[in-house]
């Protein structure tokens, strides 16, 4: 689904094996290196937990990509490192699901989209 960019690398840490074991009350580091195919003034992250083919929005502390390692405005042909945190709240249920992470440009088009299987645990 990465229409306006191409992903070079996705790094979730700590996550030595998949599915990622996400411990409640812990924050995980997200690092995505991508190249932009477009110009954009800004970018915004949208994160979902995918369960039974339903996307449930996952709140993240900082949805603004320009405050997450990306130097804005985004320029065509440049590579960027997007850095963020995925906080796993203690009230989340202990379940297996897919985390879907999107970054959209100022036209609401996908700069990148990736999914990772996770297991939320105590």
Distances (CA, A) of 47 to 56, 75, 94, 112: 8, 24, 18, 12
What pLDDT digit, counting tens, does each position of 71-85 carry? Answer: 999 999 999 999 999
pLDDT(1) > 80: no
If we measure between CA atoms, which residue out of 103, 84, 114, 101 comes closest to residue 40? 103
What pLDDT digit, counting tens, does each position of 98-122 carry? Answer: 999 999 999 999 999 999 999 999 9
Arithmetic mean of pLDDT, 90-94: 93
Distances (CA, A) of 108 to 3, 42, 72, 104, 116: 11, 10, 16, 5, 22
Domains of the chain are 5-120 (2.60.40.770)
Non-local CB neighbours of 67 within 8 Å, separated by 6+ positions: none
What pLDDT digit, counting tens, does each position of 23-82 carry? Answer: 999 999 999 999 999 999 999 999 999 988 899 998 898 999 999 999 999 999 999 999
Radius of gyration of the chain (CA): 14
If we measure between CA atoms, which residue out of 114, 116, 115, 103 comes closest to residue 36? 103
């Amino acid at each position: 689904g990465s229409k306006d960019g191409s992903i070079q690398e996705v790094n979730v840490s700590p996550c030595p094996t998949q599915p990622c074991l996400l411990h409640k009350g812990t924050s995980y580091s997200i690092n995505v290196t991508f190249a932009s195919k477009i110009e954009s003034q800004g970018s915004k992250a949208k994160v979902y937990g995918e369960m039974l083919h339903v996307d449930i929005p996952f709140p993240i502390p900082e949805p603004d990509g320009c405050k997450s390692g990306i130097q804005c405005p985004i320029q065509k042909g440049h590579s960027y490192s997007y850095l963020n945190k995925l906080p796993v709240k203690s009230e989340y249920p202990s379940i297996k699901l897919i985390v879907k992470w999107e970054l959209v440009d100022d036209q609401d088009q996908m700069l990148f989209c990736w999914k990772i299987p996770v297991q939320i645990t105590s």
